[in-house]
C-alpha cells in the first residue's frame, strides 16, 4: 500500500505553504470544477486542500487500485468479505444494479422479504396496536432510528420507539410511558444471540404479557422459536448483509411501520439511484470515488486524525451516530487483507453534531484549535416548514461556517486571529425526502468500501467488537458473586463495586 499512496506526501508538502484562499483565487473555475451533482444530491469539494495536480494523482491511484473493478465485484456478489468468506450484497436489497447469479438470487430473496413485511404491516395496521417497540443495537438500531427520526410524520399510523441500551434505566423509562395492551415489539438481531438485545427483549416480552405481539428479524429461526416467537412473525436476514449495511433489509421493518411501506420503498429507490450512478459513472464523475479519495487525502497526505460530520438540519441529528458505526466499524482495521500490518493510517475518529447547535459547543476548537479537522457539512436547500426566516438564517450559518473555516481572518490581536485552512466538503440535498436520504446514506456506504479497497482492508468484518463481549460473558458470573477475575485491576474494581452495593 505504501507504493500506492506514497506520492501523496510529495503533493501535500508542495501545497503546505499554499493557503486554501490562494488555491481558490488562482483557479477561478475551481468552485464549479470541483463539484458534482447526482440527481438531488450535490457535492462541492472546492474547499479541500488539494489542487488539480494532487487530484490527478488521487485519480491515478484510483485507476491503479482498480476501484471500478472493486465496485463490480461488490455488486456482483463476489466474496469481498474475504475473512468471513462472504459477499456483501446490500445493494441487491434496493435494486437490480447487477445481473450476476448471486446478485439476482439475493434480489429475489429481498423481494420476498418485502412482501412479508407488507403482510405483517397490514396485519398490525388492522389491530388495536398504536405503539411499536424496536429492540436492537448497533446496526440493528442506528440506521432505522436515523431514518425514522429524519422522516417522521405527524399522521403516522404507529409511534415507533427504539430500545437499544443494556442499561435497565432505558427500558424502565420507555415502558413507563406506554400501555402494554396497545404495544407490539420487534426484536432485531441477526444472530439472535446478542445479550443486550435478548435481555431487553425479555423485559419487553414479560411486560407485554402476550407473545402474539412479538415479532423478530433474524437469520437464526431456531433461536427465534426458542424465544417464543412464531415463524409467521419472523422476517429474514442473511449472512451477505452486514449489520451496519442492513437498514435496507427487513431490519428496516420499524421504518416501514413508522413511515409506511411506500416511504420505505422510496428510501430503497433513492439508494438504488446512487448505486446505479456509482456502478456506471467514470471515476472522475463518480461521487463516492471523489468522497473516498478526499478521505484518503485528508488522512494519509494531511495526517488528519479526526473527521467531523455536521448536518445543518435538525432532522439529520442522528446521522453522525450512524456514520460513526458505519465508518469506524468498517475501517477500524490495522491489518491488510493478507493479514500483514497496514503500513499507513486507516480510519480517523468520526464525530459530529447538528448545526447550528454545534456552533455553540465545539466550533471554537474547529476554528482556533491546534488540530485541523476536515468536515463534511450537510445542508438542505428546501425545508418542510413554513418558517422562512429560520431557514434563511440556518443556510447563512452553514455557508458562513464553511467559509470562515477555510478563509480564516487576520487580526493584530492573536486571540482574535483565525488561521483558516480548515478543509471541508459541502453536501447539499435539494430537499430531505426518502429518496435523497437513501442517496446520502448509500454515498457514505460506497465511500467506506472504496476507502477499504485503497487501504487493502476488509470493510465488512468486525472482529474488534468481539473481544470485549467475550470477556463480559466471562465476567458476568464474577460480577454476580461467583468466582474471581483473573485481571488484578478488574479484581480491585470489583471490590469497589461490592463496597458500593446497598
* 360 catalytically annotated: yes
Beta strands 349-352 and 424-431 are unpaired
DSSP-derived letter for residue 313 is S
* 196 catalytically annotated: no
- CA 191-196-202 angle, 5° bins: 90
Catalytic: which of 22, 181, 387, 469?
A: 469
Q: What are phi and psi of 371, to 5 degrees?
A: -105, 135
SS3 of residue 309 by DSSP:
strand
Element (H, E) at 266: helix 261-280
Q: For residue 265, how many C-alpha atoms fall within 13 Å in the half-sphere facing its CB?
A: 10
Question: Among candidates 192, 173, 147, which has minimal Cα distance to 441?
Answer: 147
39 Cβ contact list (under 8 Å, min separation 6): 273, 277, 435, 436, 439
Q: Specify which residues 327 forms β-bridges with.
A: none
Q: For residue 474, how many C-alpha atoms fall within 13 Å in the half-sphere facing its CB?
A: 11
Decide if 58 contacts 297 (C-beta within 8 A).
yes
Decide if 435 contacts 273 (C-beta within 8 A).
yes
Catalytic: which of 329, 333, 435, 445?
A: 329
* Residue 142, number of CB atoms within 10 A of its CB: 24
Decide if 379 contacts 426 (C-beta within 8 A).
yes
* 418 catalytically annotated: no
Residue with cell 431490519: 251
d(CA 484, CA 502): 21
User: For the chain, how long is the longest CA-to-CA vector?
Assistant: 72
- Rounded-to-10 torsion of CA 400, 427, 267, 251: -90
Beta strands 41-44 and 424-431 are antiparallel
Q: Specify which residues 188 forms β-bridges with.
A: 217
Which residues have a catalytic role annotated?
A: 329, 360, 469
Amino acid at each position: 500500500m505504501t507504493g500506492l499512496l506514497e506520492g501523496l506526501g510529495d503533493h501535500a508538502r508542495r501545497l503546505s505553504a499554499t493557503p486554501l484562499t490562494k488555491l481558490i483565487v488562482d483557479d477561478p473555475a475551481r468552485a464549479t470544477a470541483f463539484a458534482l451533482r447526482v440527481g438531488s444530491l450535490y457535492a462541492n469539494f472546492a474547499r479541500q486542500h488539494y489542487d488539480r495536480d494532487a487530484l490527478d494523482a488521487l485519480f491515478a491511484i484510483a485507476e491503479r487500485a482498480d476501484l471500478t473493478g472493486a465496485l463490480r465485484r461488490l455488486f456482483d456478489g463476489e466474496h469481498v468479505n474475504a475473512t468471513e468468506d462472504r459477499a456483501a450484497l446490500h445493494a441487491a436489497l434496493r435494486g437490480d444494479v447487477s445481473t450476476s447469479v448471486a446478485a439476482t438470487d439475493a434480489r429475489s430473496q429481498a423481494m420476498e422479504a418485502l412482501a412479508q413485511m407488507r403482510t405483517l404491516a397490514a396485519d398490525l395496521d388492522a389491530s388495536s396496536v398504536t405503539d411499536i417497540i424496536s429492540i436492537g443495537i448497533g446496526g440493528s438500531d442506528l440506521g432505522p432510528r436515523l431514518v425514522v427520526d429524519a422522516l417522521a410524520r405527524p399522521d403516522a399510523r404507529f409511534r415507533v420507539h427504539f430500545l437499544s441500551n443494556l442499561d435497565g434505566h432505558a427500558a424502565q423509562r420507555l415502558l413507563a410511558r406506554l400501555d402494554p395492551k396497545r404495544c407490539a415489539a420487534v426484536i432485531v438481531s441477526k444472530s439472535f444471540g446478542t445479550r443486550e438485545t435478548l435481555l431487553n427483549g425479555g423485559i419487553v416480552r414479560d411486560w407485554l404479557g402476550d407473545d402474539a405481539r412479538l415479532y423478530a428479524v433474524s437469520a437464526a429461526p431456531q433461536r427465534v422459536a426458542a424465544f417464543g416467537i412464531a415463524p409467521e412473525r419472523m422476517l429474514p436476514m442473511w449472512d451477505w448483509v452486514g449489520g451496519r449495511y442492513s437498514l435496507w433489509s427487513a431490519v428496516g421493518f420499524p421504518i416501514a411501520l413508522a413511515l409506511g411501506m411506500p416511504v420505505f420503498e422510496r428510501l430503497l429507490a433513492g439508494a438504488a439511484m446512487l448505486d446505479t450512478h456509482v456502478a456506471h459513472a467514470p471515476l472522475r464523475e463518480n461521487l463516492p470515488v471523489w468522497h473516498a479519495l478526499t478521505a484518503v487525502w485528508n488522512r494519509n497526505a494531511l495526517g488528519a486524525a479526526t473527521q467531523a460530520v455536521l448536518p445543518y438540519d435538525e432532522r439529520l441529528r442522528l446521522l453522525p451516530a450512524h456514520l460513526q458505526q458505519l465508518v469506524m466499524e468498517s475501517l477500524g482495521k490495522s491489518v491488510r487483507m493478507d493479514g500483514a500490518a497496514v503500513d499507513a493510517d486507516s480510519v480517523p475518529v468520526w464525530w459530529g453534531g447538528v448545526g447550528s447547535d454545534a456552533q455553540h459547543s465545539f466550533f471554537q476548537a474547529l476554528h482556533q484549535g491546534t488540530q485541523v479537522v476536515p468536515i463534511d457539512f450537510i445542508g438542505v436547500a428546501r425545508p418542510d416548514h413554513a418558517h422562512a426566516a429560520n431557514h434563511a438564517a440556518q443556510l447563512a450559518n452553514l455557508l458562513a461556517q464553511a467559509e470562515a473555516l477555510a478563509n480564516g481572518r487576520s487580526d493584530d490581536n492573536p486571540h482574535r486571529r483565525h488561521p483558516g485552512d480548515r478543509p471541508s466538503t459541502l453536501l447539499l440535498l435539494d430537499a430531505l425526502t426518502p429518496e435523497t436520504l437513501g442517496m446520502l446514506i448509500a454515498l457514505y456506504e460506497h465511500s467506506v468500501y472504496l476507502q477499504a479497497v485503497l487501504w487493502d482492508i476488509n470493510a465488512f468484518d468486525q472482529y474488534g467488537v468481539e473481544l470485549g463481549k467475550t470477556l463480559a460473558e466471562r465476567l458476568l458470573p464474577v460480577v454476580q458473586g461467583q468466582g474471581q477475575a483473573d485481571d488484578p485491576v478488574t479484581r480491585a474494581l470489583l471490590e469497589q463495586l461490592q463496597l458500593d452495593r446497598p
